Structure formats: C-alpha cells, structure tokens
Amino acid sequence: MATNKPEILQKAEEWLTDIFDKDTRSEIKRLIDENPKELEESFYKNAEFGTGGMRGVMGVGTNRINKYTLGKNTQGLSNYLKESFPNKEIKVAIAYDCRNNSQELAKVVADVFSANDIKVFLFSELRPTPELSFAVKHLDCQCGIVLTASHNPPEYNGYKVYWEDGGQLVPPQDSGLIDVINNLDYSAIKFDANEDLIVKIDSEVDKAFAEASVENGSFDTPSSAREDLKIVFTSLHGTSITMVPEVLEKAGFTNVHIVEEQRKPNGNFPTVESPNPEEPEALKMALEIADKENADIVIGTDPDCDRLGVAVRDLNGNMILLNGNQTMLVMTWFLLEEWKNSNKLKGNEFVASTIVSTPMLKNLTEDYGVEYKEVLTGFKWIAKLIKDHPELDFIGGGEESFGYMVGDFVRDKDAVTATLLACEIAAEMKGEGNSFYQKLLELYTQYGLYKEELISLVKKGIEGEKEIKQMLIDLRENPWEEIDGEKVVLIEDYKSSVARNLLDRTESSIDIPKSNVLIYYTESGTKIAARPSGTEPKIKFYISVNTDLDSVENYEKEDQKLSEKIARIRKELQLG
C-alpha cells in the first residue's frame, strides 16, 4: 500500500540516498510499503521551533526528532554562531535529560559542533535544564543546548537553544537561525567529531550551581524551622534527583522523604501516566507518603526539572495540590516581603509573568511599588526582559504552567531554586504558627479571590493541526459577545497586535511580539485566553474569574461560586 500524495513520497525518497544511514533507509522503505499515514505524519512538514524550542516524536523524517533533524539544526546553528561571533573562540554547553535517546542525541549534537571547530562543554550525565542555563553564563559560552521534551509523553524528545545571556533564543536570533537551517541540505551536516574539542563537565559546575541556588533561594528562616519541616520530594524519574536533594541539604532541610520508586531516571516514566506535576495523579505516590509521614509539603518536578508541583495542607489538614498561579502568588509575595524588609526596594525593581497567568499577580506586585511586566507564554520572554532592561533589578517571576524563576542567575524557569524557595516559605510560615495555604487565603482577602482553570483540547496529527487553526479563525471571525451573562468589553488579538475596546469602539496597539493568541475580557473582569500550544498538539483555553473575599472563613463558599461560574462558562462555550 502506497501513499497517494506525490509530494510526501518525493520528500521521503530524498531520505533513501546514501546521505542517510542504513537503518534510517530501511525504516523509510517500510513506511512507504506498509504505513502511508505514518509516512505522511513524518514528512508533511519540518519540525518547528515553538515556545519551548523544538519538540517532537522520535522517528525518521523531517517532522521527527532524529540525528538528522538535530544534526541539521546544529550545523545551521554552527554557521549562525560563526556569523554572529566573528574572530572569537566559540564555546557551547550541552546538557540532556532522562529521555530515551537523549544521551545519544546529545553526543550527535556535540559531534557536529566540534566538527565545525566549536568548543563543546558536554555534561557527563543527565542534568536539570536550569543548570544548563546557568552553565552557559558560568562557562562564558555563546550558546547552550539541552536535549529535552519537558513533560511530554515518552515518545517525544526535543532541542532547546540558549544564547550567551543564558536565556532561550528569541527574536531576532530565532528567525535568523531558522532561515539558516531551512537553507541547509542534509548533505552539509558535518558529523565527524573532533574529540579534542569536546570537554566533559560535571562536579565543578554542579557545585557552583548548587551554591548559587542556595544563595538565591534561602533567606533568614531559623535553622530549627527548616529542620522541623517535613518534606516529601519526587523527581518523577527525571533529572532533579541529581541536584534538588543536595540543595535542600545544603540549605539545612534535613527531614526530606524521597519517593524511592520514582528516584531512578527513566525515560519511560513507569510509575505515572504522565510525568507532569500539573496533574494530581503524577504526585499520587508522594501524597500517600505525605499522609503516612504527616508531612507538611510535597514537591514534584518534571523530567527536566524546570517545573514544580507543590502540595500543602489546607485548613482542615488535608493535602491539596496548588495550581501554578497559586504557588507563584505566594512565592512572589514572599520575595517582595524579603526585599522590602531588607530595604532593597529602591524603585527600580520588577516582577514578570505571562499574558495567560492570573491577573492577581499584578495587584500584588504593584501594591509593593514594584513594576509588573507581562510577556507572551514562555520563560524565554521573561529572560529577554532581564536582558533588555539592565537598569532594572529582577525579583522573580512565573507563569501559570508551574514554572518559577528566582532572581536572574538562571534565565529560565528553575525548579531547583523554586523547590528550595517553596520549602523556605513553608518552614517560615510553620515556625510562625501560620501555613503556606493560610497565607494564600490571606492574599485573596487583600487582592481579590481569583480562580483559574486551563482546558487543553488534544488535536493530534495533520487533521488536528487544521482543526486548531480553524478554531482560532472562527474565534476571530465570530467573536464571543457575551460570556456567562457578562458583556465582552475588550478583545486582544496578539496575532494582529490590536486591542479592540467594544465599549467606545476604539482600537490600540499591543506592544508585545506577535503570537497566535486571543484574549477576551468581560465587564466583571472575567478573562478567557485561547492559544495553540507551542510544544504539543493542543489548543489551550485559560479561564480566569474573580470576586471579593471579605474573610478567610468565607473562602470555601466563594471559591465554590467561582467553580460553578467556570463550569457554566465551559458549557456555554463548549470547551470540553
């Protein structure tokens, strides 16, 4: 059985030349003969860079992660680096996570760089993604690469590119690099390594990163409070096991229970359906241990250790998983308090978050006289703010998808330092007779009770991609005029960079890079954002609703009303 699409066959047959290895050619032939649908999925486009670099299913073809697609990226990047840094010794750092084939693919990437006379610092074993960001600056590199697919399913892998500031690639470098890559033939890839240019790194960078994490993530919490805090930690088979336990111990947290069944790195993630700490099921084992040990806090990190899920005890003593917005609010409050109490707030500080995160963070930040900045989804944009505003001091920032960054020593979301910060807050609150959860509710009484929900609709493959595009076209051509009985008063279209005020019929420009995002606001402050995922076959809808909260005691009643409101919105808008 053969595909009836000649353009797919033509692209596939290019991979049957002797540029490609025998195993690749054999698999291409098998797909041509036996699986035309999979062949089409593998070749209908080139794998693309999204919000978190390039991610995709591993396999043969232009739309898959393999030695040739990553080799082509790396050859293009080598050429681009030489253009960008003429007459300079170019150095890159490379790290990889626990995923299947990550170590082998990292060596392919190192080989290509070295074949292009570029010096490579290659981590000898798997390491957290934030450590790679740190290493780029620590080793004075012009670029960094990490092989990871974050919390995607086991069949995925990916390729994230960092620039000399330690932040991910952003405009104009990203489009310039993509042009170079797209104009390359696979025959131009230099795979023959110069081993003399590949240097293995480990303990020296580990030590420096751990010390910087402790310096940035711990404060004046009494040592007795740290020792008294009972922590359950799980690495979910990922890279954080190489760093988080050590950092917690260095900071004085000695009462740490590690989920042993999930300690060993494993790209198949055998004990979980998904290694995503956003999902309560992923922390099931940790929560069971927490109840057995009467722990105060549970923390789980994703495979590359840039996101963290935090569970704490509620007012009834039950463990509850906080969402990313809630964790971010308490962390930011704590940092702002620390800066204020240390007389470090001079009027040139800022906090940053993303356009799909909770609006409550702005209320909190500005109450401290600190500037609040908002960017597109993805920590590369927060890192760019730090780079673009050297006159400002970055306090911290996060996004709803369970990521946080403390200070600017790392320029990406960092679950190592954020884990330490969460434990620091929990220890200090417990020592004062308060709690992490109680403080969250107190913040709701001060700044308004905000409740958010994310709806992700999975749309796989070619047809799914078309469906996602059409859904956003429909939202633009037939915009919602009313949501749950509230008039829509503002629509922000980040693709056209236009904000339309429906009350006075005026338009204003949006001073943020273009992106395929739509945000609706109602007269009562309900906010709904829609965007396609940059790393997964999904369209995402972010719902935010709010009300006043007069006391902590009334939280459950008011929270229930907001839950009912979100349920009505989902039903009305047919969002799953």
CB count in 10 Å sphere of residue 52: 26
State the helix-helix crossing angle for 129-138 and 203-217, rounded to 10 degrees: 100
Residues in a beta bridge with 493: 498, 518
- Residue keyed to tokens 């750092």: 93
Q: Which residues lie closer than 8 Å to 347 by C-beta, 6 or more apart?
A: 369
The CA distance from 362 to 515, in Å, is 22
Rounded to an integer, what distance in angstroms lies between the CA atom of residue 93 and that of residue 395?
26
Which of 42, 102, 133, 150 is catalytic? The answer is 150
Task: Find out whether 79 and 219 touch, Cβ atoms under 8 Å.
Answer: no
Which is it for strands 91-96 and 143-147: parallel, antiparallel or unpaired? parallel
Element spanning 9, H or E: helix 6-14
Classify 552 as helix, strand or coil.
helix
Quote the CA–CA distance of 46 and 66 in Å, as a whole number. Answer: 12
150 as an active site residue: the answer is: yes
- Give the strands of the sheet with 403-406, arranged side by side: 371-375, 349-354, 393-399, 403-406
319-321 β-sheet, strand order: 256-258, 231-234, 297-301, 308-313, 319-321
482: CB partners within 8 A, 6+ apart = 488, 522
Q: Are 370 and 336 in contact (CB under 8 A)?
A: yes
Cβ(499)–Cβ(507) under 8 Å? Answer: yes
The catalytic residues are 150
